[in-house]
Structure 1
Amino acid sequence: MSKTVCIVGAGPSGLVAAKSLLHDVPRGTFVVTIFDSQPRLGGLWPLQKDDHGGLIHPLMVANQSKHTVQFSDLAWPEDAPELPQAWQVGRYLDRYYKAYCLAAELCLETSVEKTEQTHSSGWRVWTRSKDGAVEERSFDYLLIASGYFGKPAVPGPSVIPEHPEIPVIHSSKYRNLKDLLGEGKPKGGKILVVGGQMSGVEIAGTIATHLSSIMYSPGTSPIPNPEKYSIHHVIQKPVWVMPLFLSPKASSPVPPFLPLDLASYNLANRPHPLTNTQGHITEESAIRASSLYEIALGTNQSIYSPVLAVTHKDHANPQYLAVSDNYTEFVRSGLIAITQGRLNKLSGHDATISPAQEKIDDIAAVVLATGFKASDSISFLPQDVLETLSLVPGDLNNTVALAFHGTYHPYIPNLGFVGFYRSQYWGVMEMQARFVTTLWNAGGSMSVRLPQVLKQALDKDTSIKRTIALRDDPRASQFPMGDYAWLMQEFATALDMECRDHLSAMPVLPPAGNEMNVLTPARYPSKRLNEFQRLEVTESLKQTEATVWAAISSGKFVAKAVFRSLLGEWKLERKLVSKLSSHPSGHFSGTAKFLLREGTRDGREAEFDKIVKEGSDVGMEYLYIEEGDFKADNGFTFRATRRYIWRYNEKKDELTVWFAKTDDQKRADYLFHKVEFSVPEDDNQKSWKATAGHMCIKDYYDVKYEFCFKAVNLINWNLAYTVNGPQKDYTIDGTYTR
């Protein structure tokens, strides 16, 4: 006889749970109903570019690649970006629902108000529809997939007044500067960002990107005097800020680049069997992690700001991570200022930061990146159940204590959880769903039908004890359940699953000389695969392996890494040697600024319109401004300036340089050249090299670049021209340093 299951939440956790209940056991074993209060599925992930009603900006770029933000048996479209935007993740979930979950009853705009355990070991569930109608239904099982990010956590009235004089919003509600500031203030001011972990760094970098774009884009600004605004970020401790692309060969002078998750989840770099690296962090493991992060970045971050530097005295403490492409360079440029401490009080336009009681004045708006209260996501559970789960409402890491890595409690066998923890890696969500399905299909943790390997795993499990111990542990890690690879191993062992091999040989990397062994959800496919699923698993593995090989062997993503690292100001020294008296030789000394902004249409109208029509990202670009003094060999000195537009096309992985219009120097005119990177000829090469060419009437520009990296950061680069033709005959050699 079929068992009925109520799933609360139609986000990725709820959908993968439904899929597992419907497909990973014989058909008809479970009858599934999914409730979600939103008018669409997807949970946090919006389905449209203009869907601003949720907790995630639809244009936010995921900080994990499509190879990790996926389930094992549904590949992304081949032309999907490596790092999808939030609305594209929502579209993926819509495809997943249509592929696997249509047999479930989906009840949108229906919130679960109350639940109650029945004497027959089931659940009564009360729901409320959008028109206010309350309905009571009975189920055999209740599965919580309502999301760990339930309600924004904000400071109380002792810190933030109930009716502040300036705009105060949670980071999840930020969409653009116009909505944040309203009409804005002619005198500008500081945008105060509070919170220094993942969301704080991300939102500070996002606001800085928006402000930079408004300042340096052509046309009318949506807020007055944008140049008078800045961002002030309050953090409690230095945090390592990783860009979206890292190098698996960070020590190489010509490092290749991969999405950070593919570089990080290389199992060849860890001894097997894996041991948990998260939870309680010893001094030894903290020091080791700090060393690894410094190697990955090539700096302790002091090059950006002394406040952001992770110094020797910090190495023995648990290390914290954040992800942002632009944050650190905006800190270096001064657009983002940092204060270490905690917001003590907001009063009018001023804030007090403890413990030093430092004052920050002239605040125009406040954005609170202060996390979420997960307890609101389970407020419908009975009080006795919450007590059994050891609920601590204010604990943002370990709200409830659950067995076997956040999936169930042995005292409540008909209650399950999927995705109810921070750091929700999609592969782990899928494993949790498989685990709960297997457990319930066997009749529970005490059933004689429980597979022996699963029983052994449950007997050894200490998850509840560990969770409670970490609540008061001063050495608890940033993400107590953050070791993705270890969690995948533990679930696979319990479920008697094997990690599937790569389809073919993978690149070999130093120092150990091992083949890369990149973990993705597709490495752990279900045991019950139909033909469609087999094809999807294979396609997913092919995409990952193609991405890795392209990066390691052909320099894919180097253009992206260069583009990211150009942001900000450079010292420029350029020598010009001319063979014609009409063009004097001499030396230029000055600065070059790369000013980030949203991609513009000028000069590429047809391509731009096609990108917009397809719903793709128009990307970012730089307004390049160089200014300085040119001293000719004849002794004459004059002020000189140039402007270009630098663009990066993610779909083509292409870096291009465009002339600026002479009558409006914020606008692009026409293409100057495309930067063509060449694969290193041997191991002795000391920089990434690239070439370009441009025919100007009858004069040809032969362009050569050299980009010198230290891990992920450009430390200097060279741009040389040889110009030949009937009108010109000269060489230019310019060196850019920070």
Structure 2
Amino acid sequence: MPKRVCIVGAGPSGLVAAKSLLWDAPRGTFDVTLFDSQTRIGGLWPLHKDDSTGLVHPRMVANQSKHTVHFSDLAWPEDAPNLPRAWQIGQYLSEYQKRYCSEAKFSLGTHVEKALQLAVSAKDGSQQGWQVQTRSVQGEVKEESFDYLLVASGFFGQPALPPVGRGSHEIPAVHSSQYRNLQSLLGKSSGSGGKILVVGGQMSGVEIAGTIASHLSSAVHSPGPSPVSSPEKYTIHHIIQQPVWVFPLHTSPNPTASAPPFLPFDLGSYNTANRTHPLTNSQGHISVEAANVVHSIYQGALGTDQSIFSPKVAITTATTNDPPYLTVSDHYMDFVRSGLISVSHGKLSGLAGSEATVSPSKERIEDVAAVVFATGFDASSSLSPSDLNNTVALGFHGTYHPDVPNLGFVGFYRSPYWGVMEMQARFLTALWAAGGPSSPSLPPQLKEALSKDTSIERTLNLRTDPRASQFPMGDYPWLMQEFATALGLERSPPSGKMPRLPPTDKEMDILTPSRYPSASLTGPQRSEVTKSLKETEATAWAGVGSTKFVARAVFRSLLGEWKLERDLTSKLPSHPSGHFSGTAKFLLREGTGDGREAQFDALCADGDPGLEYLYIEEGDFKASNGLTFRATRRYVWRYDEGKDRLSVWFAKTDDQKRADYLFHEVEFVPPRENGEGGGNDKGWEAKAGHLCIDDFYNVKYNFNFSAVNLSDWRLSYTVKGPKKDYTIDGVYSR
């Protein structure tokens, strides 16, 4: 007779747990029921682009690529973006449920209120299961008995607020998970402006500050009416406890190359060719020596200590002894450099009216218009009313406790890596299918792993360790290795040759969930595993061996103000030569449809109009004949993620915030044939051509990167026609 399993939560953790119990154990071993207080599956992840029921904005871009955000035996659709949006992840989960969880029972809109462990058998001391009490959204209370209880209700139980953030405030105050747009945050304000205060300097704090900055920038610089009154009067003030490393969504696996290649951030991070095998844990207690090494690695990957953006975000020698913290945002740093985001160090200690106080400096921040608390989440509501300090002390990497072997956990840790969730589910399936940790039928490798496990002791020690790492449970590749060893799973090799990269000159060895397939794959499952592996390998080759992702890296790094020096050399006496000196500003905004209406409608139908820049150039032109005059011009620069293409558009003369028609598309020059990991010799080169009535523009670009950031770039073009024959050569520098 099947053993009944109650799974609390139908998000990614609950779904993969159900799948593992149904597929990785002999059929009929377990009967699975999932309960979720929401009326849909998905947990945090919305199921469609207009779904506002979760804690994640449907259009939020994931900070891990689809090569990490997936389970081993379900590949993403071929046309899925490398960095999916939240609603697309919800769609993936819906497909996963259909594919693998059809035999499970789902009780949605049902809250698990209580789970009581039944008495231990007096006969043989065995656990007798659980009495589970639930309440439906209609208020109906039920009780059912289960043999096993599996908690997958999530580390992100409910938004956590500091004491100063609780209660009512005179100004709008929300948790970062509740922020959706400027209208909902500032809609009731007078439009008099002020500071939007963002509290919290880790992942969600940096991400939400960058997001709000992009929304403000768009409100100011987009054509048409603004969604809020006087957006130009608002700025962002970000309170952080200490500077953190901020990585863009795409980094370079060869950052010292003259034309660095680019890949999604996690593909380079999980390239285990750069590590010694078997892997050792790089997280937990961080010694001073280890901290110094990692800080050095991060600085090398970014090409800066971040002082180029602001002293307030610089990682100085005074802080490199501290455990490093990492965050991800494409635009946060350049908004700091531009001044739209200002930074203070400390903690928010007071909030009265429109004035905030920061301790220990006692700095006063006046004219606060709204507050966004990016202060994380509290896991205790997913378990019990008690304060668990968000670090549940559990055995074998957060999965069970030896004293309660019929109780399991999936997903309770501070890194949402889908591969680890899947491994935790497989571990519990193997443990329970064998009869528990003390069963004589326990596989030898699992028995040995349990005998050596020190996870509980380690977690308890880290709770009070001042040198605990950002992700104390353990680093992702090491955790995957530990679970695989316990389960007797082999790590599959790449399907073919992979790019070789410095500093080891070894082929890339990128960890993804599909590298650890189930030991008993069906034919369709094997096809999904193979498809997923090939997608990752193709992405790696495209990034390292072609111009893939370069346009995106350039587009991201253009944000802000540049110094521009330009020479114009004319061969016709009717058009004087001269020199322009001034500035060029790239002002970020949401994509607009002007000049590309049909394409834009398709983008909006997918819920993603993309981003673009309003380019404004201003300065003085001194002609060779001695005449000096003020000059300005405007363009619209766009990035098409689907085509991975950068384009430049003329601005309308009668409405200079609107694009008129295409000037040219930027075509990047592929790397040298022998530059497998290095690109071109003199930075990234690009070209374009454009016929404007009778005049032909031959355009050339040269982009010089320092690791992931543009340090300077050049735009030159020759113009030839019946009445034109001149060359323009401009250099842009920060």
TM range (shorter): over 0.9
CA–CA distance in structure 2, aligned partners of residues 8 and 239 of structure 1: 35
Which of the numbers 618, 625, 631 marks the counterpart of 2:616? 625
Aligned to 2:471: 479
1:392 Cα deviation after fit:
4.4
Question: What aligned pairs does 1:585-604 form with structure 2 within 5 A after superposition?
Answer: 585-604=577-596
Letter in 1 for 2:698: D
1:309 Cα deviation after fit:
0.3
1:31 equivalent in alignment to 2:31: yes
1:126 equivalent in alignment to 2:126: no
CA–CA distance in structure 1, aligned partners of residues 502 and 458 of structure 2: 36
1:250 Cα deviation after fit:
0.6
CA–CA distance in structure 2, aligned partners of residues 184 and 206 of structure 1: 20
1:656 Cα deviation after fit:
0.4
Which of the numbers 250, 263, 267 marks the counterpart of 2:268? 263
Which of the numbers 326, 350, 360 marks the counterpart of 1:355? 360
Letter in 2 for 1:139: F
CA–CA distance in structure 1, aligned partners of residues 651 and 360 of structure 2: 49
Q: Secondary structure at the match of 2:311?
A: coil
CA–CA distance in structure 2, aligned partners of residues 663 and 482 of structure 1: 58
Is the CA contact (8 Å cut-off) linking 2:165 and 2:373 kept in structure 1? no
Which of the numbers 723, 729, 732 marks the counterpart of 2:728? 732
1:611 Cα deviation after fit:
2.4
CA–CA distance in structure 1, aligned partners of residues 345 and 444 of structure 2: 52
CA displacement, residues 534-586 of structure 1 (integer Å, 9 cap, x when unaligned): 11001001100110001111120000000000000000000000011222100
CA–CA distance in structure 1, aligned partners of residues 340 and 373 of structure 2: 18
Aligned to 1:141: 148
Range that drifts further, 40-49 or 178-187: 178-187
CA–CA distance in structure 2, aligned partners of residues 155 and 475 of structure 1: 22
Letter in 1 for 2:670: V
1:161 Cα deviation after fit:
6.2
1:324 equivalent in alignment to 2:316: no
CA–CA distance in structure 2, aligned partners of residues 100 and 495 of structure 1: 21
CA–CA distance in structure 2, aligned partners of residues 558 and 370 of structure 1: 34
Is the CA contact (8 Å cut-off) linking 2:718 and 2:727 kept in structure 1? yes
Aligned to 1:642: 633
CA–CA distance in structure 2, aligned partners of residues 466 and 663 of structure 1: 66
Is the CA contact (8 Å cut-off) linking 2:59 and 2:607 kept in structure 1? no
Letter in 2 for 1:123: W
1:162 Cα deviation after fit:
2.3
CA–CA distance in structure 2, aligned partners of residues 152 and 637 of structure 1: 59
Letter in 1 for 2:83: L
Question: How many corresponding residue pairs?
Answer: 722
Is the CA contact (8 Å cut-off) linking 1:122 and 1:138 kept in structure 2? yes
Aligned to 1:385: none
1:466 equivalent in alignment to 2:458: yes
Letter in 2 for 1:510: P
Is the CA contact (8 Å cut-off) linking 1:183 and 1:223 kept in structure 2? no
Aligned to 1:694: 690
Letter in 1 for 2:655: D
Is the CA contact (8 Å cut-off) linking 1:243 and 1:324 kept in structure 2? yes
CA–CA distance in structure 1, aligned partners of residues 643 and 165 of structure 2: 47
Which runs of no fewer than 5 residues in structure 2 stay unpaired? 121-127
CA displacement, residues 8-46 of structure 1 (integer Å, 9 cap, x when unaligned): 000000000000000001111000000001111000000
Question: What aligned pairs does 1:76-475 form with structure 2 within 5 A after superposition?
Answer: 76-119=76-119, 121-156=128-163, 159-160=164-165, 162-379=167-384, 392-393=387-388, 395-396=389-390, 398=391, 400-475=392-467
1:52 Cα deviation after fit:
1.3
Q: Secondary structure at the match of 1:550?
A: helix
Aligned to 2:661: 670
Q: Secondary structure at the match of 1:475?
A: coil
Is the CA contact (8 Å cut-off) linking 1:239 and 1:319 kept in structure 2? yes
Q: Secondary structure at the match of 1:313?
A: coil
Range that drifts further, 509-518 or 35-44: 509-518
Is the CA contact (8 Å cut-off) linking 1:46 and 1:56 kept in structure 2? yes
1:659 equivalent in alignment to 2:650: yes
Structure 1 residues 366, 465: CA separation in 2 closer, same or farther (over 3 Å shift)? same
The two structures have a TM-score, normalised by structure 2, of 0.97
Is the CA contact (8 Å cut-off) linking 1:161 and 1:347 kept in structure 2? no
CA displacement, residues 150-205 of structure 1 (integer Å, 9 cap, x when unaligned): 0111122xx24622100111101000011011233232000000000000000000
Is the CA contact (8 Å cut-off) linking 1:187 and 1:225 kept in structure 2? yes
Letter in 2 for 1:411: D
Is the CA contact (8 Å cut-off) linking 1:165 and 1:348 kept in structure 2? yes
Is the CA contact (8 Å cut-off) linking 1:160 and 1:345 kept in structure 2? no
Q: Secondary structure at the match of 1:319?
A: coil
CA–CA distance in structure 1, aligned partners of residues 558 and 98 of structure 2: 42
CA–CA distance in structure 2, aligned partners of residues 481 and 651 of structure 1: 36
Aligned to 1:384: none
CA displacement, residues 511-545 of structure 1 (integer Å, 9 cap, x when unaligned): 22100000000000001111110110010011001
Range that drifts further, 475-484 or 401-410: 475-484
CA–CA distance in structure 2, aligned partners of residues 468 and 451 of structure 1: 28
CA displacement, residues 222-263 of structure 1 (integer Å, 9 cap, x when unaligned): 111100000000000010000000100011111000000001
The two structures have a TM-score, normalised by structure 1, of 0.97
Is the CA contact (8 Å cut-off) linking 2:459 and 2:473 kept in structure 1? no
Q: Secondary structure at the match of 1:314?
A: coil
CA displacement, residues 356-400 of structure 1 (integer Å, 9 cap, x when unaligned): 1000000000000111110100128xxxxxxxxxx743x23x1x2
CA RMSD across the alignment: 1.0
Letter in 2 for 1:7: I
Letter in 2 for 1:485: P
Q: Secondary structure at the match of 2:451?
A: helix
Letter in 1 for 2:618: E
Which runs of no fewer than 5 residues in structure 1 stay unpaired? 381-390
Aligned to 1:520: 512
Aligned to 1:386: none
Aligned to 2:124: none
Letter in 1 for 2:508: M
Which of the numbers 576, 581, 591 marks the counterpart of 2:573? 581
Is the CA contact (8 Å cut-off) linking 1:555 and 1:677 kept in structure 2? yes
CA–CA distance in structure 2, aligned partners of residues 641 and 733 of structure 1: 16
User: Share of identical aligned residues, percent?
Assistant: 67
CA–CA distance in structure 1, aligned partners of residues 619 and 730 of structure 2: 13
1:482 Cα deviation after fit:
4.3
Is the CA contact (8 Å cut-off) linking 2:49 and 2:607 kept in structure 1? no
CA displacement, residues 42-98 of structure 1 (integer Å, 9 cap, x when unaligned): 000000111112110110000000000000000000010000000000000000000
Is the CA contact (8 Å cut-off) linking 1:691 and 1:705 kept in structure 2? yes
Aligned to 1:537: 529
CA–CA distance in structure 2, aligned partners of residues 95 and 583 of structure 1: 63
CA–CA distance in structure 2, aligned partners of residues 515 and 187 of structure 1: 57
Aligned to 1:703: 699
CA–CA distance in structure 2, aligned partners of residues 410 and 617 of structure 1: 48
